[in-house]
Structure 1
Amino acid sequence: MDSIISDSYAVHFNKNAFQALNNHLSEKKYSTIFILVDENTHELCLPNFMAEIHGDYQFEIIEIESGEINKNIETCVGVWEALSELGADRKSILINLGGGVLTDMGGFIASTFKRGIDFINVPTTLLSMVDASVGGKTGVDLGSLKNQIGVINQPVMVLVVPDFLDTLENRQVISGFAEMLKHGLIQDTTYWEALKGAKGLEDMKKHILTSIQIKNKVVLQDPTEQNIRKILNYGHTLGHAIESYFLESDSKVTLLHGEAIAIGMILEGYLSNKLLALSDESLNDIKSTFLNRYDKVEFSNEDIENILKLMKYDKKNSHGKVNFVLLKSIGIPVYDIEIPVELFTEAFAYYKI
């Protein structure tokens, strides 16, 4: 795979990734190289990653607990303290080896430590490769509210090594695949059709480059999400609210990001059908495609009421209005759409049948 050039950095693949990393470390001569891992990537990914680094460097490994529940400012404080205690300075670098939670949080930690040190992201999940690898969004959750605290700041580079995906359980793979399907829905009908035929991880790996190219193309047009970059949030307005609700509820099984976003894309597909004339055929195609891969989730009336309350915290809101990305057709999105309140109940009813 060829490298993808983003705004101020590149996404490198496979052996090119390690070659680019070794060249960079040799040139920059960092005082200390810090590697941020969780318990899973420490065991399953770090040994293979370290084996590819050539040179005599000072390394320090910092481990955090995995999971969205730990994507908070308290975890950041722990890492900042560890960096300080281990003598990190402005000439240090933080390499984030993990999924989207870890790379989002690691980027935020690096961007704010001593007013900013270099960082490199090495995504190890499908979700983080096709979503978090491009765009420079960093941050943490505020309680159960997704990504409320953060900055947009670019890494030095991103290294995508699909072999790391072989360490994942299937549920994590399928979660990441939801973002790839989203890329087809918002940009490319042909890509959507191709993804529908993917039968397993090896098929999905073949499409990683295309998904990153699609996201990169959008981000380059609008780095700070003032206009067209908003289309990347298709399915996320309701999806994030669902994800937050299931995260904070003691009686619910926590949903992975892609599982919640898959529901959001069905619901927002229904809204698209009612408001932008997305065809019935396309709407049913969206619904069946996601329900063929993602288990249907039960929602009570109380659940729906609480989910809709959480939407007011969505980052895309402006002037007290909840704004949506909807589809005129597959491949043609429209952003900043307001939704009549009564349609939300209808959308959940459509999802249930």
Structure 2
Amino acid sequence: MDPIQANNYSIYFNDDSFVYLENLLKAETYSKIFVLVDENTNENCLPYFLSNLPTEIDIEIIEIEVGEENKNIYTCLDLWHTLIELGADRKSIMLNLGGGVITDLGGFVACTFKRGIDFINIPTTLLSMVDASIGGKNGVDLGNLKNQIGVIKEPKSVVVITKFLETLPSNEMRSGLAEMLKHGLIYDKKYWDKLKNLNDLNTDDLDVLIKESIEIKNKIVSEDLTENGIRKSLNFGHTLGHAIESYFLESEDKKALLHGEAIAVGMILESFLSLKLNLISNEEYAEIKYIITDVFEKVDFNDVDIQKIIDLLIFDKKNEFGKVQFALLNKIGEIKIDQTVDNSLILLAFEDYLQN
């Protein structure tokens, strides 16, 4: 597959990724390579990656614990200290080998260490391939509030090696699929239509669909890196989805949801809001709800859950002047940004979601 050109970097695929990395490491004068992994990618992805990375530069492996709960400033502090102890300097490079937590957090650590060192994102989950690793957003959570601390700085490059998907459990694959479905809903109805027939796809089809999803996100981000306009469209499903994800993460009596599982609920809820604001038709809403619920199990909410989720909306980082901002569908394949919605409609959206 040909590389995708972003604003100031390129996205490489499969075998071309290793060719690119080998040439880069020969051409640049890096003092050390630091590979950031979690427990899963250390075991399942790192051996294959290193065996295909010929270089004479010293390599240090840094491992963190798995999970969104570790995407915080305390982990960053540990990593900054570790980099110092291992002799990192401004000519070091960090390779972030993992899912969205690794690329988000690793990018932030690299951007802030000695005022910035080069970093490359090497996503190993479907979610990080089509979303987290693309677009230059790097950051961490503040308590249970998603992505409150961070910077926008693009990586040196992104390399997508779809072989890593062979190591993923089915729920992680579905989590990434949520973002692919979102890209179709907000930008390209033809792409959405392709994703409606998932049972008929083979591995080669998936590689092509992954690249198309990345192309959609890259086109949006390239127009609006700092999220003042069209990039807000990528927030569809995320205003309520992030609040749901945060609530389930902090609740002792709830099982934490994967990002894509929460976003899937958010997309159904926000599609309902789009319907009630006369932006999409009943037929479009029924199709969206059917397709997403066919892939993702329904999540249960009680009245207390719903009220606490609504209370969390005010902390969404996209809000402006104290108002909760939604990106809603204008029809399948189009988006309308900066929409405000009454809480009464949000309650109706949950009520509709919970119906059989």
On whether the aligned pair clears a TM of 0.5, the verdict is: yes
Structure 1: distance between partners of 2:305 and 2:343: 16
Which amino acid is the alignment partner of residue 193 of structure 2? E
Which amino acid is the alignment partner of residue 321 of structure 1? K
Structure 2: distance between partners of 1:319 and 1:333: 22
1:115-130 aligned at under 5 Å gives the runs 115-130=115-130
Change (3 A) 1:95 1:327: same
Structure 2: distance between partners of 1:241 and 1:204: 30
Which amino acid is the alignment partner of residue 100 of structure 2? G
**Deviations 1:255-308, CA, capped at 9 Å, x for gaps:** 000000000000000000011331000001111111101010110000000000
1:1-353 aligned at under 5 Å gives the runs 1-199=1-199, 202=203, 203-353=205-355
Q: Work out whether residues 120 and 155 of structure 1, in 8 Å CA contact, stay in contact via their aligned partners in 2.
A: yes
Structure 1 spans left out of the alignment, 5+ residues: none
Quote the RMSD (CA, aligned, Å): 0.9
Which amino acid is the alignment partner of residue 190 of structure 1? K
Give the 3-state SS of the residue equivalent to 1:150 in structure 2: strand
Q: Work out whether residues 276 and 327 of structure 1, in 8 Å CA contact, stay in contact via their aligned partners in 2.
A: no
Which TM-score applies when normalising by structure 1?
Answer: 0.99
Shift of 1:55: 2.4
Shift of 1:132: 1.5
Structure 2: distance between partners of 1:83 and 1:40: 21
Structure 2 spans left out of the alignment, 5+ residues: none
Structure 1: distance between partners of 2:28 and 2:120: 13
**Deviations 1:176-215, CA, capped at 9 Å, x for gaps:** 0000000000011111010011126724333000000000
Structure 1: distance between partners of 2:279 and 2:143: 37
Structure 1: distance between partners of 2:282 and 2:267: 15
**Deviations 1:38-90, CA, capped at 9 Å, x for gaps:** 01100110111011111211010000001101100111111111000001000
Which amino acid is the alignment partner of residue 120 of structure 2? I
Structure 2: distance between partners of 1:301 and 1:141: 26
Which amino acid is the alignment partner of residue 313 of structure 1? F
Give the 3-state SS of the residue equivalent to 2:138 in structure 1: coil
Change (3 A) 1:67 1:112: same
Which TM-score applies when normalising by structure 2?
Answer: 0.98
Structure 2: distance between partners of 1:255 and 1:59: 34
Give the 3-state SS of the residue equivalent to 1:25 in structure 2: helix
Structure 2: distance between partners of 1:36 and 1:329: 41
Number of aligned residue pairs: give it.
Answer: 353
Which amino acid is the alignment partner of residue 134 of structure 2? V
Which amino acid is the alignment partner of residue 214 of structure 1? I
When structure 1 is superposed on structure 2, of 202-211 and 69-78 the one drifting more is 202-211
Which amino acid is the alignment partner of residue 347 of structure 1? A
Structure 2: distance between partners of 1:276 and 1:211: 27
Identity of aligned residues (%): 57
Which amino acid is the alignment partner of residue 86 of structure 1? L
Structure 1: distance between partners of 2:145 and 2:240: 13
Structure 1: distance between partners of 2:89 and 2:293: 49
Structure 2: distance between partners of 1:67 and 1:315: 21
